[in-house]
Structure 1
Amino acid sequence: MTTHAPTTAYVLTAIGEDRPGLVAALAAAVDEHGGNWVDSQLALLAGKFAGIVQVELPDERAQSFLEALPALADEVGLEVEATVAGDPGEVAPHSALHLHLLGQDRTGMVREVASALRSQGATIDGLRSWTREAPEGGGMLFEAEAEVRLPADADQDGVREALETIAAELMVDLELDTTE
């Protein structure tokens, strides 16, 4: 029977000026300390590289890993912060929706949609948004996609109605699909 050394899960947040080698440097630091890269979301926004990474590290190597992280700022310009990951616990029964929104860009759109979702007990598990030029000089468009988790007892029609009300107020197109 093989026994594994105890490990601790960490969530790393990283940000730096975009340049080649940032992910490689972070991955090397994880690997050099016996860690495992578990999950990540990485993006380039306005010339900045930003990422969230979940890693697992052997407990006996975790402190040296944490002490090595500040060197990444000097070596490659990547600021990294680490926090111990929360206990995912048991996921309560739920349903999921995929939301897609498109309309003329204006301030407050994310706040309005997020508030409508919160009022229905929904949680945003993932959100990606961007702006782009509208065809034929029509100004800027705002587009967003979100993965939304609803409690098992949530009224999907109520959620849909709350979002459609916001969509009408914001004058945006809104699509909602049930995901399984």
Structure 2
Amino acid sequence: MTTHAPTTTYVLTAIGEDRPGLVAALAAAVDEHGGNWVDSQLALLAGTFAGIVQVDVPDESARSFLEALPALADEVGLAVEATVGVPRGDAEEPRSVLRLHLLGQDRTGMVREVTAALRSQGATIDSLRSWTREAPQGGGMLFEAEAEVRLPAHAGEGGVREALETIAAELMVDLELDAPE
């Protein structure tokens, strides 16, 4: 039977001017301290690399790992901040998961209105990705978003759907809401 050394979960936020080797440098720092790269979301936004990474680092290496992170700014231009992750409790209330897809003419306030409708129903956003693109045949800019949301046990899909359909009509967007496959 193998026993594992206690670990601490960190959520790292990393940002820097895009260039080759940023992810490799961060991965090397994690590996050099015996850490495990658990999950990540990495993107290039407006010429800037931005990433969020969840890592597990053995407790005996945690201090040296945290002390090594600032050096990445000098070495490769990657500013990294670490926050201790909070494990989800086993006793957390059950939640249902829904996927949301929105498409419409781009205008200010769309994300605010959608997230306010979700909040009004007690929904938690697990992931959100949004982008703009040119509409076909020169019709301006389109805004598109995909999200995965969790609903508390007491909230029903119907209430969320109603709240979102109300704002979809106001924003004049197409909205799809369904359970993940």
TM range (shorter): over 0.9
Partner of 2:100: 99
* Deviations, residues 45-84 of structure 1 (Å, cap 9, x unaligned): 1111111111111111111111111110011100000011
Aligned partner of 1:118: which letter?
A: R
Q: Which moved more, 1:164-173 or 1:91-100?
A: 91-100
Measure, in 1, the Cα distance between the counterparts of 2:132 and 2:2.
52
Q: CA deviation at 1:92?
A: 2.2
Measure, in 2, the Cα distance between the counterparts of 1:68 and 1:61.
11
Measure, in 1, the Cα distance between the counterparts of 2:120 and 2:171.
17
Partner of 2:167: 166
Partner of 1:116: 117
Q: CA deviation at 1:87?
A: 2.1
Partner of 1:31: 31
Q: CA deviation at 1:4?
A: 2.5
Secondary structure class of the residue paired with 1:179: coil
Q: CA deviation at 1:162?
A: 0.6
Aligned partner of 1:52: which letter?
A: I
Q: CA deviation at 1:7?
A: 1.3
Secondary structure class of the residue paired with 2:108: coil
Aligned partner of 1:163: which letter?
A: L
Measure, in 2, the Cα distance between the counterparts of 1:28 and 1:175.
40
Secondary structure class of the residue paired with 2:74: helix
1:127 aligns with 2:117: no
Partner of 1:79: 79
Aligned partner of 2:115: which letter?
A: A
The normalised TM-score by structure 2 is 0.96
Identity %: 85
Partner of 2:180: 179
Aligned partner of 1:36: which letter?
A: N
Measure, in 2, the Cα distance between the counterparts of 1:161 and 1:17.
42
* Deviations, residues 108-155 of structure 1 (Å, cap 9, x unaligned): 000000000110111111000000011111111000000011112212
Measure, in 2, the Cα distance between the counterparts of 1:175 and 1:7.
40
1:22 aligns with 2:22: yes
